[in-house]
Amino acid sequence: MLIHPAEARRQFIEFADGEITTENLARGALLIALEDYPRLDLDAALAELDALAARVEKRCTRGEPAAFRLGHLHDEMFDADGYRGDTQSYYDPRNAYLNEVIERKLGIPITLSIVFLHVAAKIGLSAHGVGLPGHYLVKVQFELNEVYVDPFHSGQTLTIPEIGALLQQLSGGNTQLASEHLRAWSGRETLHRVLANLVSMWSRAGDTRRAHSAHERMELLAE
């Protein structure tokens, strides 16, 4: 079925008018893609993420520590499915469209994190996106501590000092890690950043029409 761009925009506006949570974040990211992928089957794409979550759930046992669930998620998403960061063509716009990330198993930090967050929510983990300047991580909260996961680097876990070193590296030594950097991002903030990435990527590629379209939707999210 072919979805007209005007209908895709209408669906996005309807979504943006409601509450955006970890549970519907992937749907929001797919609605962003729908305007440029008129044949995109949102339900089929979400079903693939749900199937990944079901495989993780199948590995879990009743009453096991939440940290074990995180380990099962890591095994299925990164080892079995091979999701990874696109280090060769980072600014390829496909890396910012969730449907392409699901199909190619390649993406940028924020889109890979959206996959991770969707599955984490399905298996009962308390996980939130963390938008660093120039990078995006996932914070998984347990009863007594929290773990920071980097989906772009095959789901490796990072300590606070390691995140600080990463931020120093990304900023050329100009940014010191502060508690504000590690706060949980809202779903709305996350989708806003997905669109900001698209503005940047399409501008870099010289496609002003697509860049403008992404910018328009940033403004819709902010309203």
Residue carrying the six token digits 């000092």: 161
DSSP string of 125-168, one letter each residue = -EEEEEEETTEEEEEEE-SS-EEEEEGGGTTEEE-HHHHHHHHH
Q: Is residue 83 part of a domain?
A: yes
Residue type, 103: E
Q: What is the pLDDT of residue 115?
A: 98
Confidence (pLDDT) at 223? 59
Tokens of 126: 């308390």
Residue 17 is part of which domain span? 5-122+188-222
Residue 66 lies in a domain: yes
**Residue 53 to residue 118: CA distance in whole angstroms:** 8
In total, how many domains does the chain have? Answer: 1
- Helix crossing, 109-122 with 66-74: angle to 10°? 130
| 3-state class (DSSP) for residue 146 | strand
Using alpha carbons only, give the angle 155, 123, 99 rounded to the nearest 5 degrees.
60
Domain presence at residue 127: no
Query: Where does residue 46 rank: exposed (0-12), middle (13-18), buried (19+ CB within 10 A)?
Result: middle
d(CA 97, CA 217): 14
Give the global pTM. 0.97
For residue 70, CA distances in Å to 51, 55, 62, 81 come to 16, 13, 14, 15
Q: What is the pLDDT of residue 174?
A: 87
- Both tokens of residue 135? 């990078």
11 inside domain: yes
pLDDT along the chain (223 residues), means of 10: 94 97 97 97 98 97 92 98 98 98 98 98 97 96 95 97 94 90 97 98 97 97 80
Residue 131 lies in a domain: no
pLDDT given for residue 199 in this prediction? 98
Residue located via tokens 């939707």: 217
Q: Per the domain annotation, does 26 fall within a domain?
A: yes
In a domain, 23, yes or no: yes
Q: Indicate whether 150 belongs to any domain.
A: no
